[in-house]
Structure 1
Amino acid sequence: MTTEDPSKTCPYICPTTIKPAGETISYLEAGMSRGPENPHASPYVPGLIQPPEKKIYPPGAPPRYLPQPTDSTSGDILGMGPIGPWAPGHIDWTPHAGTTGVRPVVDKYSITRYSTGEWRKNNEYVLTPRATDKARNWETTTKKDLANAFSGMDNKLADVNNKLEKRVKDLSHWKREVEKAVLAITDEINVLDQDRGRLKGACRILMLPEAISRECLELRTNRYEPDLVRDDAEQELIKEVAIVGEIRRVFMDTLAKVEEQMSMNKAAKASIEFDWSDKMVSLKLDTQNLKLSPDSNLLLWHPGVARWPENATTLEYWEHFCSESIRNCEEVRQKSENLRGDLMTAIVKGSQDMKIQAERTNAALAETVSATEELCEKLEETLKINLQQLAHIENLIDELKDSLRKVDERNKLVMTRLHARNYDRPNVENCRDEAQYALMAEAKFVRETCESLSGKLREAEIIRSDLMKYRGELEKQIACKRKSLNIDLDRCARVRAHMPTPEEFAAG
C-alpha cells in the first residue's frame, strides 16, 4: 500500500497512518461520539457557562433580520463538545450545504442546516420587491410590445390583403384564359363531331356508287357471247370499284384518326375543365379570404394549419402548369382542326374523284353504246342486203328449176328421137346421117347443159344455205347488240343515274 497525500484526504474519515499488522479496525455505531479527537471540542469544566452577551451593531447598520457587515459568508464554525447526547462535528455553510456528504450533523432533536448569515440573506431576498419591479417593467415592455405587435399585425394584414388581391387578379386572368380554352375545345369537339357525322354519312353514301358499279358489272355479264369483251367501259367500271375501295380505305383510316382525336379532345377538355374548376374554387376561396377581416363573424379556430401542405406547389410551377395546360389544350385543338381539314379534303377530293371516274365510266359507256348502235345499224343494213340477196337467190333457184325442167323436156325430146331413129329404123336406114349427128350433138349439148344447170342449182342451194346461215348470224348479232344496248343504254344508264354527287358526299 502507498501513503496518500494528507492534504487531499479528510483526517477524520480517511486516516493517514497505516495500522500495524494484527491490529483490528473498529467503527463507531450510529449515535456514538468520536470523543476528544475533535479539535473543536473542549472538555466540560464547571463554571464554563457564561451569561449572555449583548450583541452590539454598528451605527447605520441594517435591521437585525437583514445581513450584517459582521456576518460571515463562508459559514460559522461551531464548537460542539460532548455537552449533549449528540455528536459534535464541523459544519460547512456553503452553497453545497444540502449535498449528501457535507450536510450538518443530525441528532434526534433538530437539524442545523443554515447559518444566521444565510438566514438574514434569505430575509433580504424575500423582502426585495423583485416581482413588483419586474411587473412594472413587464407592463411597460408589454404595452410597447402590444403596440408593436398590433402595428406589425396590421402591416402584415395589409400586406396579405395586397397579396391576396394580386392573387385574385392573377386567378381571374388565368380563369378567363382557361374559359377561352374550354370554349374553344368545346366548339372544336362539336364541329369535329359534325364532321365525323359527315364522314360516316359519306361512308354510307359510298356504298351506293360501289353498288352501282358492281350492279353495272353484274348486268354486263348478261351480255351474249360475242359482246363479252373487256372494253373501255368494263375497264372504267372495274377501276371505279377499285377507286371506291380506296376511298373507303381512306375514309375508314380518317375515321379512326377522328375517333382517336375525339378521345384526345375529350381528355383535353376534361383536363382543362378540371383546371377551370380548381381555379374557380381557388378564386372563390381567395375572394372570400380577401373579404374577411378581424371583425368577421365567420372566424374559427383551426389548430395546426400554419404549415405547408404536403401537396403544395411553388408559384413558378403553378404559372408553368397554367400556361402548359392551356398550351396543351391549344395544341390538341389545333391538331383536331388540322385533322378536320384533312377530313373535309378527303371527303371533297374523294367525291370529286368519284365524280370524275363516274364521268369517265359514263363516257366509256356512251362510246361503247355509240359504237354498238353504229354496229347494230350496220348489221341491220347488212341483214337487209342479205335478205334481198337471199330473195334473189331463191328466185334464181326457182328459175334454175324451171330451166332444168325445160332442159329435161328437151332431153326427153332428143332421147325420144334418138330412140326412135336407133331402134325403129330398119336395116340400112339406120345410118349415121347428118340428122343423127345433129341429134347426138344436141343430146350431148342438152346433157351438158343439164349437168351445168344442176351444178348451178347445187351452187345456188349452197349459196342460199350460206345466206340463211349468215342471216341467222346477223340476226343473232343484232339480238346480241340490242341486248348490249339494252344493258348499257337502258339498265346501266338508269342505275348510274343515281350516282351521288360531291355535294351529297360533303353533306353526309
Structure 2
Amino acid sequence: MNDINFWKVELDREIKEMIEETDLLCAQKKRLENALDATEVPLNIAQDNLDCRSRRQEVDLVGDRVELALNKEVEIIRKVQDLLKRTIENADRQIKLNRGAKHKLTMDWSDKVQAFEIDEKCTGLNNNSTEIQYKEGSAKFNNVQSTPESWAEFSHDNIVRAEHERLASQQLRNLIDQIVTDTSNDMREQCNTVNSEFARRIEEMNDAKTKMENHLQKVCIMSIWSTTLNTHLYFCCTLNQCMTQHLVASKSNFVSEFEYHAHISQVNFRLVIFPISFVTDRPRNCFHGGQCPSPAEVHQGQEAPMKVAQTRLDSRTNRPNVELCRDPAHFRMVQEVGEIQNSIDHLNQKLADSQASLKDLMDTRMTLEKEIALKKNSIFIDRDKCLKFRTRYPSTSRLVGYQ
C-alpha cells in the first residue's frame, strides 16, 4: 500500500503539472492566432499602397525605392503568416500529445486509487468480518497479472513520457515567445523603412515641383517679353507704313533731292530710336487681341507704300520721248522700293525668329505645367493616400498577440 500511495502521489503531481503546462501552451497558441490576425491589417495597408501608387501617371509611374520597400514589406508579412501558421500547427500537435500523456497519467492514477481502496479494504478483513466467504479458484496466478517490477515500470514510464512532453511543451512556448517577438520586430522595422522611403520620396518630388514652378515662372516672364517684342515689331511696321505714306505724299510734289534724303533719314532714325516703353505701356490687346502678328500681317502693312511706289514708277515709264528720263526722282523711287522691301524682309526675319522663340517657350511652358501636374498627383497619392492610411498600422503589443 505504501508503494501504491507513493506512485499515486507522483502521478497526481505530474497530472497537475501537465494540466498547468497544457493551459500555458493553449494561451501561447491563442497569442499566435491573435498575432496572425493582426498581420492582416499591415498586409492590406501595403497592398493598398501599391494599388494607389499604380495610379501614378507617365514618368512618375516608376519602380522607385518606395515600391521596392512596399514589395519587401508584403513579402515579409506573407512569410510571417506562413511561419505563424506552421507554429500554430506545431502547438496543436503538442497540445494533443500533452493531453494524451495526461490521459495515461489519469488512467494510471485512477487504477491506483481503486487498487489502494481494495487493498485497504482487504487489510481491514479478519475472522470476525461479516463479508468473508469462500471464493473457489481465487488461489491461483492469472496470466495477465503484472509483476512488481513491471507494475512500477508502468507508472515510471508514464511519468517519464509526461515529463518529456511537458519539457517539449515548455520549449515550444519559449520558441513561440521568440517567434512572435522576432516577427513583430521585423514587421515594425520594415514599416519604419517604408515610412522613411515615403518621406524621402515626397521631399524629392516637392523639391522637383518647386524647381519646375520657378522655371515655369521664368518661362512665363520670357513669353510676355517675347509677345511684347512681337507687338513692338508690328508697331514698327505700322509706323513705317504711316511714315512712308507721308513720305510718298511729300514726294508727290517732287521735292528736291536734298529734302527727300533728309526726310528718309528722319524716318529711319525715328524707327531706330522708337522706345519700346511706348508699346509695353499700352494695353496688351491693342494689337490683335494681345496675340503676335504674323508675317502676312507685317507684309500687309507694307503693301500700300509698295504699291504706291511701284505704281508711280510704272506710270512714269509712259512719259513720251525724251521725257522718259532717269532723273533724281526716278532713282529715289527705285531706292524707295528697295528700302521698303529690305524693311519687310528684315522685320519678317525678326518676327519669325521671335515667333519661333515664343513657340519654344510655349512648348516648354506646356511641358512644365504637365510635369508639375504629374508631381502634384504623385505627391497627393504618396502623402494624402498612402501615408495617412499607414497610420492605422497595428501597435507592437497587438503584433505580438496580446490584444
Q: TM-score, normalised by structure 2?
A: 0.79
Whether the aligned pair in 1 keeps the contact of 2:309 and 2:336 (CA below 8 Å) is no
What is aligned with 1:173? 6
Q: Which of structures 1 and 2 has the larger relative contact order (alpha carbons within 8 angstroms, sep 6+)?
A: 2
Q: 1:459 to 1:298 in 2, by over 3 A?
A: farther
Letter in 2 for 1:189: T
What is aligned with 1:502? 396
Q: Of 338, 349, 353, which aligns to 1:444?
A: 338
Q: Of 340, 363, 370, which aligns to 1:469?
A: 363
**Using the alignment, how far apart are the partners of 2:13 and 2:339 within structure 1?**
120
The Cα of 1:298 is off from its aligned counterpart by 3.4
Q: Which secondary structure does the structure 2 equivalent of 1:305 belong to?
A: coil
Q: 1:446 to 1:325 in 2, by over 3 A?
A: same
Q: What pairs with 1:96-115 in structure 2 (closer than 5 Å)?
A: none
Q: Which secondary structure does the structure 2 equivalent of 1:304 belong to?
A: coil
Whether the aligned pair in 1 keeps the contact of 2:313 and 2:333 (CA below 8 Å) is no
RMSD: 2.1
What is aligned with 1:396? 229
Q: Of 205, 208, 215, which aligns to 2:41?
A: 208
Letter in 2 for 1:206: T
What is aligned with 2:386? 492
1:423 aligned onto 2:256: no
Q: 1:447 to 1:317 in 2, by over 3 A?
A: same
Q: What pairs with 1:14-163 in structure 2 (closer than 5 Å)?
A: none
The Cα of 1:431 is off from its aligned counterpart by 4.0
What is aligned with 2:137? 304
Letter in 1 for 2:2: K
**Using the alignment, how far apart are the partners of 2:308 and 2:31 within structure 1?**
102
Whether the aligned pair in 2 keeps the contact of 1:397 and 1:457 (CA below 8 Å) is yes
Whether the aligned pair in 2 keeps the contact of 1:408 and 1:450 (CA below 8 Å) is no
**Using the alignment, how far apart are the partners of 2:84 and 2:229 within structure 1?**
72
The Cα of 1:331 is off from its aligned counterpart by 0.6
What is aligned with 1:135? none
Gaps of 5+ in 2: 245-301
1:279 aligned onto 2:171: no
The Cα of 1:333 is off from its aligned counterpart by 1.1
Q: 1:430 to 1:330 in 2, by over 3 A?
A: farther
Letter in 2 for 1:341: N
The Cα of 1:187 is off from its aligned counterpart by 1.2
- Cα displacement string for residues 92-119 of structure 1 (whole angstroms, at most 9, x for unaligned residues): xxxxxxxxxxxxxxxxxxxxxxxxxxxx
**Using the alignment, how far apart are the partners of 1:300 and 1:407 within structure 2?**
153
Equivalenced residue count is 341
**Using the alignment, how far apart are the partners of 2:81 and 2:179 within structure 1?**
10
**Using the alignment, how far apart are the partners of 1:314 and 1:449 within structure 2?**
134
Letter in 2 for 1:261: Q
Q: TM-score, normalised by structure 1?
A: 0.63
Gaps of 5+ in 1: 1-167
- Cα displacement string for residues 230-257 of structure 1 (whole angstroms, at most 9, x for unaligned residues): 0000001111111111111111111111
Q: 1:416 to 1:276 in 2, by over 3 A?
A: same
Q: Of 293, 299, 320, which aligns to 2:153?
A: 320
**Using the alignment, how far apart are the partners of 1:304 and 1:244 within structure 2?**
72
Whether the aligned pair in 2 keeps the contact of 1:407 and 1:450 (CA below 8 Å) is no
Whether the aligned pair in 2 keeps the contact of 1:351 and 1:501 (CA below 8 Å) is no
**Using the alignment, how far apart are the partners of 1:323 and 1:174 within structure 2?**
8
Greater mean alpha carbon deviation, residues 491-500 or residues 427-436 = 427-436
Letter in 2 for 1:416: V
Greater mean alpha carbon deviation, residues 238-247 or residues 400-409 = 400-409
**Using the alignment, how far apart are the partners of 2:316 and 2:135 within structure 1?**
168
The Cα of 1:294 is off from its aligned counterpart by 3.2
Q: Of 3, 10, 15, which aligns to 1:182?
A: 15
What is aligned with 2:376? 482
1:247 aligned onto 2:141: no
Letter in 1 for 2:125: L
**Using the alignment, how far apart are the partners of 1:300 and 1:406 within structure 2?**
151
What is aligned with 2:188? 355
Q: 1:191 to 1:454 in 2, by over 3 A?
A: same
The Cα of 1:374 is off from its aligned counterpart by 0.9
**Using the alignment, how far apart are the partners of 2:369 and 2:178 within structure 1?**
52
**Using the alignment, how far apart are the partners of 2:111 and 2:73 within structure 1?**
56
What is aligned with 2:202? 369
Letter in 2 for 1:450: I
Q: Of 177, 193, 215, which aligns to 1:344?
A: 177
The Cα of 1:448 is off from its aligned counterpart by 2.3
The Cα of 1:220 is off from its aligned counterpart by 0.5
What is aligned with 1:458? 352
Letter in 1 for 2:143: E
- Cα displacement string for residues 339-392 of structure 1 (whole angstroms, at most 9, x for unaligned residues): 122222221111111101111111111111111111111121122222222222
Letter in 1 for 2:179: A
Q: 1:417 to 1:205 in 2, by over 3 A?
A: same
The Cα of 1:457 is off from its aligned counterpart by 2.1
What is aligned with 1:192? 25
**Using the alignment, how far apart are the partners of 1:462 and 1:368 within structure 2?**
37
The Cα of 1:438 is off from its aligned counterpart by 4.7
Larger Cα-atom Rg: 1
Whether the aligned pair in 2 keeps the contact of 1:227 and 1:481 (CA below 8 Å) is yes
